[in-house]
Amino acid sequence: MTAAAPARFGFHRPAAVDEAVRLLAEHPEAVPVAGGTDLMVAVNYRLARPEAMLDLTGLAELREWSDEGDAVRIGSGVPYARITAELATVLPGLAAAARTVGSPQIRNRGTLGGNLATASPAGDGHPPLLATGASVEIATTAGVRYVPVSEFYLGPKRSALRPGELITAVTVPKATGPQQFLKVGTRNAMVIAVCSFALALDPEARRLGTGIGSAGPVPLTAPHAEAIELPWSTPARFDNTLAAEFGRRVAAAARPIDDVRGTAEYRRHALAVCAARALRRVWTAAHERTGR
Amino acid sequence: MPDPATTPGPQDRPVAGPAPGRSDTAARIRDGAPQSEKDASSAPDHDAVRPTRGSGRLIGGTGRVPSGTVGQSPIRPESEAKVNGAFDYASDLAFPDMLWGNTLRSPHPRALIRSIDTAAALALPGVAAVLTAADVPGKLHYGLIEADQPVLAPDQVNYQGEPVAIVAAETLDLARRAADLVTVDYEVLEPRCDADEAAAAGEYFRYQPVRIGDPDTAGAAVVVAREYEVGMQDQAPLGPESGVAVPVEGGLVLHVATQWLHSDLDQIAPCLGLEPERLHLSMAGIGGAFGAREDLSVQIHMAMLAMRTGRPVKMMYDRAESFLGHVHRHPARMRYEHGADADGRLVYVKARIVLDGGAYASTTEAVVGNAASLAVGPYNVEHVSVDAWGARTNNPPCGAMRGFGGVQTCFAYESQMDALADALGLDPREIRRRNALARGDKLITGQVVDAYDPDEAPAGQPFSPLRDLLDRFDGIPVPPVPAGRDIVELPGGTGNTTHGEGVRRGVGYGVGLKNICYSEGFDDYSTAHVRLELGGPEHGGEPVAYLHTAAAEVGQGHWNLQQQIARTELGVEHVVLLPNDTRAGSAGSSSASRQSYMTGGAVKAACEAVRELWRDRDLADGPIEATRVFRHRATKPMDPVTGQGESHVQLALCVHRATVDVDVELGLVKVVDLTCVQDVGKALNPVALEGQIHGGTAQGLGLAVMEEIVTDAGRVRNASFTDYLIPTILDMPPMRLRIVENADPDAPYGLRGAGEPPTLSSTPAIVAAIRDATGLPLARVPVRPEHLTVGRPS
């Protein structure tokens, strides 16, 4: 019987990370696949035709996360559903973002490692990683290197990942205060972001972290917005004017385009609204937490 | 393959199983019987089509009232197979030695073809055939109404995605790669993409005016004039276009998923240069239709490849190709002017309606007729001037989709009724009530509203079906705003965009009027064959009715209904559905909300005939058979100058009330309640009926807030489910339904077609609710977040 099978290609299924990186070194054309929620869609649409694939689903070590004290090390193969279910307390921003990815089926398979490897500016995982200063753990046969996530994204679907390299984990600092993630889509679920925004507040360090998604060639931060003067000593003086100014600064940091999902003008507008709401929410939460 | 011994009939197999054969066609059709790619051993016994619940008391022929009759909701015969994945959709079919076909499509909306070079594709090992327009064996064009669409583009392409060449190869991947190797030398031309300009330049498939009275001199106390726009919606059936063509002795067997087998046959045979008798069409499992399977897709192409190679050829579109490979709902631009007296009674309506038919005729002609004849909705108005065009452009071809010309104008006229109500300070239901058509009133075509019980005359007034529906909302309150909502209950959902910030509530109404069955003088009929015989031991020696029709089960529950009708009319418990194929007479299309009426009517008539014969005969003496052709009452064409004419068979009404929460700062919408009151004449199967109302409403919701094929200079920008969004369970609220049964004395069981009306009325109801929440005029659907915030459409 004939079948709708694609052409033959190489398929490697390592059982351990060192074997995986060795195979990658030997077969640099091989594309790692974990959940397959991006890659296999591209293959089915013939946007990608990998000569070979490196199946990561046999690597149990990639599907674990561990408490590293001030941070959580999340194996690159941990699916979004587990991030939402298991890490919402320590990584609330990332967990909120994970909850917005695709459908339940996609969240059961899709991984943060895949999100990074694809490096789409619309990837939901990026803004909270930027807002919290996460770092990407990358392995080769030569060893492991760590890339701050702020240096990871180089262009639309381009990253600092080099041939032969495998993303093994992401280290995300634990929340030191309230975090928010807001994602705007034209449907109430299962939608690619028109734009998104992540905010992390560190009341002790008196610091804000930001991340902007789907409003530029790469996921962005908003340094000028992070530098906004906030009434740390007199939190009650926080007002809507301040929130709106923060929103304006975030919108100004975006570099959106018009596309089929939304206009650049709308993206800037929506980012301003989302950022103002996010700041009000984290400020209120931090104030309630410390002051009452 | 299932064991032949388990087949229920002496000669035939039931639906949901592979194709059977009998008499002279048996051999070749048996040759054409497919294998399933699925594990046959895990497939359920399709004999489970027989009803399973209780037996009742004595009546009629058998002296019994079986369960699962008309008015009840038995489980569908195909449900179990569909739920557990054993149902063979067209895309699941496979045959020994089968090739895969693929289509090369034009990347340009308009271009001349200078040359096509197929040598490289043919040279690829595993490629069996590469065919172009020069290889079409018969007529070069086909079409549902007018044969204007090339089987393969001969010397010019007129829309992006137009088929140029077809390939057959050993695998689908090879076929795709071979198609990539076909070199087409195009001379690219400037596409015509503006429907208004095209219509003005005389490039249209139909122009239909409607004229009554004198709107120019009719004085009005209040006038509202607005322009409206409806985007290009897609039917988005989940099952992609797919089928298999199998060469057999003397012809071809085509396994196709279509809404109308005989219309396919009539279009395919001339293009293949074959007598229709040499073609046997067998219905393959249909994964949704909504109008998208009226036009041909893979049919002629796979048949050409099978004829050329002598091997079975399968074609199956991927999602992107599906979006390019079927027609869409006509986008529309409409200018409406409504004049009313100080009490809100309509004085005149002027409307200019331009529908974009795209590159080829498809069903545009009929869609324009609906748009024109239903242009003011179910309201009384004496002075009317309507001009409706179906323009020819280089945009994607548009044709049938649920609602069929009624959807576009419904959005406009309902928006106009709300604008009038606003101008007069009237309640939206009140202005509709004051203008509602009643029995004996006339549509703008002069057609008298009948088909309601003449004895029903509340307070001495002629019965108004619309007032009846509107009044039923009195007892259904708008839902309250709950406290402490989870984000999934708010606009933006899990996007966490609002915890209540910026959220405002709005409520709106929409009324839809849809014609049921084919209009404008079309000879619309359906055929049913019923054979009643004594069953074997597997049926307990009881009578078994075998039903044979060509009617398409597109997910609406028609197979189930046929069985219900047979049980009702014959009093038998065991009803076996034979496969739908072209050995049966034409059933007409599963379109226009007509199949319960038409094939339901044919099955009823055939069963009644068998029942009559049964009075004088003993089944032990042999089977009793009858074939009946059922026709609805005749209709007339619309006058080409005045639009007058009794053009419609039956009218159906639906009213929606939408309640929405809008995040007015982000422009995100959450529809929190949809209440629907629909007159269905008779609820033949309440569960299926509710499903139709839910589904029709959801498609209207999609058009209201998200569904649009976006084109740029004739090119589709979102041919995927990533960017063509359809509602999810978080977008579609639970519904409250009030199903009204105002019987049509003319229709089988009094039914009114029910599948389309909710698709009309939910869109304007939702947009009215968004207007109520935001105060914005909103003249375009789908409403996008931009429209509610920064302003201009993308």
Quick: pLDDT tens for B490-549.
999 999 999 999 999 999 999 999 999 999 999 999 999 999 999 999 999 999 999 999
| Average pLDDT, integer, range B640-650 | 98
Among B581, B605, B631, the domain boundary falls at: B631
Exposure of B648 by Cβ count < 10 A (0-12 exposed, 13-18 middle, 19+ buried)?
A: buried
Contacts of B493 in chain A (CB under 8 A): 188-189
How are strands ordered across the β-sheet holding B156-157?
B156-157, B111-117, B183-188
Nearest to A99 among B494, B498, B705 (CB): B494
Interchain pair A184, B668: CB under 8 A: yes
Does residue B421 lie in a domain region? Answer: no
Contacts of A274 in chain B (CB under 8 A): 497, 666
Q: B56 pLDDT exceeds 90?
A: no
Average model confidence (pLDDT) for chain B?
92
DSSP state of B669: E
- Which of A42 and B259 is assigned the larger pLDDT? B259
Q: Tell me the shortest Cα–Cα distance from B484 to chain A, in angstroms.
A: 16
Contact between B387 and B353 (Cβ < 8 Å): yes
Domain boundaries along the sequence of chain A: 10-55, 60-173, 179-291
Q: Looking at this protein, which amino acid is placed at residue B203?
A: E
Nearest to A260 among B318, B666, B717 (CB): B717
Instruction: Return the residue matching tokens 């039923």.
Output: B472
Nearest to A262 among B97, B491, B785 (CB): B785
B253 shares its domain with B337: no
Other Cβ atoms closer than 10 A to A273: 27
Q: Which CATH class is domain A60-173?
A: alpha beta
Q: B672 pLDDT exceeds 60?
A: yes
Q: A106 touching B, CB under 8 A?
A: no
Q: What is the pLDDT of residue B664?
A: 97
Contacts of A181 in chain B (CB under 8 A): 496
A and B: number of Cβ contacts within 8 A: 133
Instruction: Return the residue matching tokens 């000879």.
Output: B523
Exposure of B657 by Cβ count < 10 A (0-12 exposed, 13-18 middle, 19+ buried)?
A: buried
Exposure of B724 by Cβ count < 10 A (0-12 exposed, 13-18 middle, 19+ buried)?
A: buried
Q: For residue B553, what are the domain limits?
A: 4-89+525-631
Reported as a pLDDT band with limits 50, 70 and 90, residue B650 is: very high
Nearest-by-CA chain A residue for B491: A188
B275 shares its domain with B175: yes
Contact between A181 and A196 (Cβ < 8 Å): yes
Q: Sign of the CA dihedral B216, B217, B218, B220? A: positive
Q: Residue A18, by phi and psi: left (phi above 0), alpha (psi -120 to 50) or beta? A: alpha
Nearest-by-CA chain A residue for B496: A182
Q: Tell me the shortest Cα–Cα distance from B491 to chain A, in angstroms.
A: 7
Q: Tell me the shortest Cα–Cα distance from A144 to chain B, in angstroms.
A: 35
**pLDDT tens digits, residue range A25-58?**
999 999 999 999 999 999 888 888 899 999 999 9
Tokens standing for B607? 């069963």
Quick check: ipTM above 0.85? yes
For domain A179-291, give the fold: Enolase-like; domain 1 (3.30.390)
Q: Do domains A10-55 and A179-291 have the same CATH topology?
A: no
Reported as a pLDDT band with limits 50, 70 and 90, residue B455 is: confident
Interchain pair A260, B37: CB under 8 A: no
Q: Looking at this protein, which amino acid is placed at residue B499?
A: H
B483 shares its domain with B602: no
Report how far residue B162's alpha carbon sits from residue B170's, in angstroms, rounded to the nearest whole number: 24
H or E segment to which residue A18 belongs: helix A17-26
Report how far residue B145's alpha carbon sits from residue B149's, in angstroms, rounded to the nearest whole number: 11
| Average pLDDT, integer, range A222-250 | 97
Q: What is the pLDDT of residue B460?
A: 86
| Average pLDDT, integer, range A69-86 | 98
Q: What is the pLDDT of residue B105?
A: 98
Q: B728 pLDDT exceeds 70?
A: yes
Q: Which of A63-77, B22-36, B352-366, B417-431 has the lowest mean pLDDT?
A: B22-36
- Best probe of the A interface among B497, B707, B708, B720, by most A CBs < 10 A, is B497
Q: B657 pLDDT exceeds 70?
A: yes
Report how far residue B685's alpha carbon sits from residue B688's, in angstroms, rounded to the nearest whole number: 5
Following DSSP, what letter does each residue of B395-428 receive, concatenated?
SPPB---TTTTHHHHHHHHHHHHHHHHHHHT--H
Look up the CATH number of domain A10-55.
3.30.43.10
Does residue B431 lie in a domain region? Answer: no
B266 shares its domain with B179: yes
**pLDDT tens digits, residue range B297-320?**
999 999 999 999 999 999 999 999
Query: Domain with B761 in it: what CATH number?
Result: 3.30.365.10
Contacts of A192 in chain B (CB under 8 A): 722-723
Name the CA radius of gyration of chain A, rounded.
20
Report how far residue B417's alpha carbon sits from residue B432's, in angstroms, rounded to the nearest whole number: 7
B202 shares its domain with B218: yes
Exposure of B43 by Cβ count < 10 A (0-12 exposed, 13-18 middle, 19+ buried)?
A: buried
Q: Which of B68-72, B97-101, B790-794 has the lowest mean pLDDT?
A: B790-794
B244 shares its domain with B223: no
Q: B494 touching A, CB under 8 A?
A: yes
Q: What percent of chain A has a predicted confidence (pLDDT) above 90?
A: 92
Report how far residue B374's alpha carbon sits from residue B717's, in angstroms, rounded to the nearest whole number: 32
Q: B148 touching A, CB under 8 A?
A: no
Does residue B432 lie in a domain region? Answer: no
Contacts of B723 in chain A (CB under 8 A): 192, 260-261
DSSP state of B272: H
Report how far residue B654's alpha carbon sits from residue B700's, in angstroms, rounded to the nearest whole number: 12
Contacts of B488 in chain A (CB under 8 A): 188-189
Interchain pair A187, B316: CB under 8 A: no
Instruction: Return the residue matching tokens 């351990």.
Output: A16
Q: Which residues contact B422 (CB under 8 A, 6 or more apart)?
A: none
State whether residue A42 is helix, strand or coil: helix
B46 shares its domain with B71: yes
Name the CA radius of gyration of chain B, rounded.
27
Reported as a pLDDT band with limits 50, 70 and 90, residue A288 is: confident
Q: B40 pLDDT exceeds 80?
A: no
B24 shares its domain with B134: no
B200 shares its domain with B183: no
Contacts of A261 in chain B (CB under 8 A): 723
- Positions of E strands within B44-107: 93-94, 99-105
| Average pLDDT, integer, range B453-479 | 91
Q: Tell me the shortest Cα–Cα distance from A161 to chain B, in angstroms.
A: 26
Q: What is the pLDDT of residue B11?
A: 35
Q: B124 touching A, CB under 8 A?
A: no
Q: B17 pLDDT exceeds 80?
A: no
B684 shares its domain with B584: no
Q: How large is the angle between the packed helices B406-424 and B428-435, nearest 10 degrees?
A: 110
Nearest to A187 among B174, B316, B706 (CB): B706
Q: Which of A112, A158, A157 is nearest to A136 (CA)?
A: A112
B143 shares its domain with B202: no
Nearest to A100 among B171, B495, B498 (CB): B495
- Best probe of the A interface among B316, B788, B794, by most A CBs < 10 A, is B794
Report how far residue B662's alpha carbon sits from residue B772's, in angstroms, rounded to the nearest whole number: 10
Q: A198 touching B, CB under 8 A?
A: no
B178 shares its domain with B313: yes
Contacts of B169 in chain A (CB under 8 A): none
Nearest to B496 among A181, A260, A261 (CB): A181
Among B597, B631, B665, the domain boundary falls at: B631
Q: Residue B328, by phi and psi: left (phi above 0), alpha (psi -120 to 50) or beta? A: beta
| Average pLDDT, integer, range B554-579 | 97
Q: Tell me the shortest Cα–Cα distance from A122 to chain B, in angstroms.
A: 12
Q: B482 pLDDT exceeds 80?
A: yes
Q: What is the pLDDT of residue B570?
A: 97
- Positions of E strands within B152-278: 156-157, 163-169, 183-188, 204-212, 222-230, 242-248, 251-256
Q: A45 touching B, CB under 8 A?
A: yes
Tokens standing for A233? 């000593």
Q: What is the pLDDT of residue B456?
A: 82
Q: B35 touching A, CB under 8 A?
A: yes
Q: What is the pLDDT of residue B329?
A: 98
Number of domains, chain B: 4
Q: What percent of chain B has a predicted confidence (pLDDT) above 70?
A: 92
Q: How large is the angle between the packed helices B406-424 and B757-774, nearest 10 degrees?
A: 40
Contacts of A278 in chain B (CB under 8 A): none
